[in-house]
Amino acid sequence: MSSHDRIIPVQPLTFLDQEAVIEAGDEIIIPESMMNQWMDLFVPGISMLARLTNLENDMSRIVCIGSSDKSDKVYVPTWIMQHLGYTFESVEEQLVYISPFTEEIPAATTISLRPMDNAIYHSDLVGAIEKYLDRFHVMEAGTTICLPLEELGGFEICTVVESVEPYGIVRLGGEVHLEMLEPVGGIPEHEQVVEPVAEEEVIPVSAVSGQVNQVITTEDHRAKMREAWAKRSVNINNT
């Protein structure tokens, strides 16, 4: 345990009365004293990262430090706390081991996703995931992304990040191949008669750290993707 590492109480972000709190992302809020101590560990202009570890089960995750608070607690998005195995029924204070993460993380080249429901053929899941990933700084294989989709009346579709390349954890903020794998349960029979949509799309994923993304995906390709989804929807309604 280095002089920068600490074991401190952890709570969900929802405990903070702040309008800027973003649950659907990987940013955490740390104590102000810790922020001041860690600032010099990171190169200016890059995201400040930390490793969170649940000492009860040794599960860990790399997250981004979004801001600080005068409290002596770490505030974490609910989905990350669930991933680390924390429960919300416990009345006892829960602790997290937090340490600065200064290792270099390679830029993402490919993210492969497998939807857990074939209801994706009624929606623009690719567009929704693209917007969702804009809130992330890093991505790890095994992450489950759950998104409420407007086309489905707010119905939540969960998608598993099966793999990321070139490494098990990658940095977002550049050109990424987003690969949609066959959903769990397979492709519905009435969908197989529709002209197939390309399974891989090149999209720009820009981290919320303010970095400017110079890669521009052509609107023509994206329009074709949306048109194909629309055709699928029409096909379903006519069956």
Going along the chain from its start, the domains and CATH numbers come out as: 6-101 (2.40.40.50), 110-237 (no CATH)
Tokens of 189: 């029979």
CA 149 to chain CA centroid, Å, is 16
Higher pLDDT: 143 or 212? It is: 143
Q: CA–CA separation, 20 vs 174, rounded Å? A: 25
Residue 121: the pLDDT is 64
pLDDT at 148: 78
Comparing CA positions, the residue from 182, 196, 199 lying closest to residue 228 is 196
Q: Is 218 exposed, middle or buried (0-12, 13-18, 19+ CB in 10 A)?
A: exposed
Other Cβ atoms closer than 10 A to 152: 16
**How confident is the model over 22-47, as pLDDT tens digits?**
777 899 999 999 999 999 999 888 89
The stretches of 118-197 forming alpha helices (DSSP H) are 125-133
- Residue 212 corresponds to which amino acid? V
DSSP string, 99-115: EEE-S--PBP-EEEEEE
Strand (E) or helix (H) holding 180:
strand 175-180
Q: Residue with structure tokens 């991505």?
A: 139
pLDDT of residue 101: 97
> Is the pLDDT assigned to residue 177 strictly greater than 50?
yes
Provide the token pair at 232: 């699928």
Whether residue 24 contacts residue 186, with contact meaning beta carbons closer than 8 Å, is answered with no
- In whole angstroms, give the CA distance from residue 10 to residue 76: 7
Predicted confidence (pLDDT) at residue 120 exceeds the cutoff of 70: no
The arithmetic mean of pLDDT across residues 72-80, rounded, is 93
pLDDT at residue 202, as a whole number: 55
Summarize the confidence of residues 69-78 as an average pLDDT. 93
